[in-house]
Amino acid sequence: MAKKMKVPGTAARCAAAGGRPGALPEDPVGRGRQAAPPTVEVQPPSQCPKCGSAGRSDYWGRQIQECAGVLADGRAYRRIVRRRCRCAGCGQVRIDKTYEP
């Protein structure tokens, strides 16, 4: 007779991930599953909302939000990344948002 395996509930998975709601524990390494190479998609350069310039400084203050979803064009994403930068033309600070698969 087959033995029943107990599947941990959401609370147990959150506790294993450090107690953060919605967080899941990391996949253990060495399970035979290899990570897929990241896909790089070319996006148009962001523009300054104040002057329209595409020139910018280096990024700083990156924030990553782990949440999966599907964009309006059908592409799936796993996280949203927000990066701060400064416009090279007028000095306005802006936040560039990208959706990563």
44 DSSP 8-state letter: P
pLDDT (0 to 100) of residue 36: 62
62 DSSP 8-state letter: E
Q: State how far the Cα of 59 lies from the Cα of 98, in Å rounded to an integer.
A: 13
The one-letter amino acid code at 51 reads C
Q: Which two tokens stand for residue 88?
A: 């090279």
The beta strands (E) that lie in the chain are given as 60-70, 76-86, 93-100
Q: How far is CA 65 from the centre of its chain?
A: 5
Percent of the chain with pLDDT over 90: 44
Query: Does the structure show a pLDDT above 80 at 76?
Result: yes
Q: How far is the CA of 20 from the CAs of 13, 15, 25, 39, 64, in angstroms?
A: 10, 7, 10, 28, 15
pLDDT (0 to 100) of residue 101: 86
Question: What does the domain layout of the chain look like in residue ranges?
Answer: 46-101
Average pLDDT, the chain: 75
